[in-house]
Structure 1
Amino acid sequence: MFSEKKDKQLQVLERNIIGKNTSIIGDIKSEGDFRIDGKVEGTIETEGRVVIGNSGSVSGKVTCQNADIEGKFSGELSVNSLLTLKSTAKISGDVLISKLSVEPGADFNATCAMKGTVKELNNGKSKKAEKTA
């Protein structure tokens, strides 16, 4: 049991870097974090964080825990926790998130849905209705 916990912690510490002059076409799957300063076309799946640097560009599908975007993204983006868009970010496509942080200046031209929000709002409304009735 202890060794499983230690192995999981080591896997999360993995960092994958796609450099400025690197271009990848295809599918990538990892349990670690990604920093993308080059160009990726395809699918990225990770249980960690995806960072798209200022010179980075991703087109395709990304599924991750957290994401920080400074560069360009187009396609499907699914973030289980927090999506942070920096002022230089340019986003288009379909976005599914739990939390969103957008700096002034970011271009966010996407269809956006927030997970879990409807359930929380419905529960909040029913509680308020019970108190006032």
Structure 2
Amino acid sequence: MAIFSTEKEVKRDVTPTIIGNRDSITGEIHAESDVLIDGKFKGDIYAKQSISVIAGGCVEGNFHADKVIVSGKVTGMVRANQVVIKGGGLIEGEIAYRILIIEENGALEGKCALLKQNVLAEDAKEA
């Protein structure tokens, strides 16, 4: 069975973390993958990739990620290289970003600050 010793390990994609539309979770998430929120979440999220809050999603807490996309509602502090607030999306609180995009009918109520360097997951906390 020499074939098994010469085969390379199959590289698997990282499965995203999903909070469904009927889910309500409180706690802290440390993710290597994308995080998708369609339900309710209260707590902090540290993601090495992106965090997306779908139109029905509602979050109360803090985000640290490479990219944050909001179509629902976020209350708290967002720290990311890129923040996108989609139409109908709302962030109430503070954001620190390198790139900020607010689409028509998207809203930000709070303070914002431009970051001078990239946000790394290690900068916030190890995921």
TM range (shorter): 0.7 to 0.9
Indicate the structure with greater helix content. Answer: 1
Runs of 4+ in 1 over 2 A off after TM superposition: none
Matched, 1:93 2:93: yes
Written as runs of structure 1 = structure 2, the 5 A alignment for 1:61-100 is 61-79=62-80, 81-100=81-100
Give me the whole-angstrom Cα distance separating, in 1, the residues matched to 2:34 and 2:15.
Answer: 6
Matched letter for residue 42 of structure 1: G
Q: Using the TM superposition, give the Cα deviation of residue 67 of structure 1 relative to its aligned residue in structure 2, in angstroms.
A: 1.0
Q: Specify the alignment match of 2:39 in structure 1.
A: 38
Matched, 1:106 2:106: yes
Written as runs of structure 1 = structure 2, the 5 A alignment for 1:7-18 is 10=12, 13-18=14-19
Provide the identity percentage. 26
CA RMSD of aligned residues (A): 1.8
Give me the whole-angstrom Cα distance separating, in 1, the residues matched to 2:55 and 2:39.
Answer: 9
TM-score normalised by the chain length of structure 2: 0.80
What residue ranges of structure 1 are gaps of 5+ in the alignment?
A: 1-5, 118-133
TM-score normalised by the chain length of structure 1: 0.76
Q: Specify the alignment match of 2:6 in structure 1.
A: none
Q: Using the TM superposition, give the Cα deviation of residue 10 of structure 1 relative to its aligned residue in structure 2, in angstroms.
A: 4.3
Q: Using the TM superposition, give the Cα deviation of residue 110 of structure 1 relative to its aligned residue in structure 2, in angstroms.
A: 1.8
Q: Specify the alignment match of 2:52 in structure 1.
A: 51
Q: Specify the alignment match of 1:22 in structure 2.
A: 23
Q: Using the TM superposition, give the Cα deviation of residue 14 of structure 1 relative to its aligned residue in structure 2, in angstroms.
A: 2.5
Which has the larger Rg?
1
Matched letter for residue 107 of structure 1: A
Aligned residue pairs total 109
- Larger relative contact order (C-alpha < 8 A, sep ≥ 6)? 2
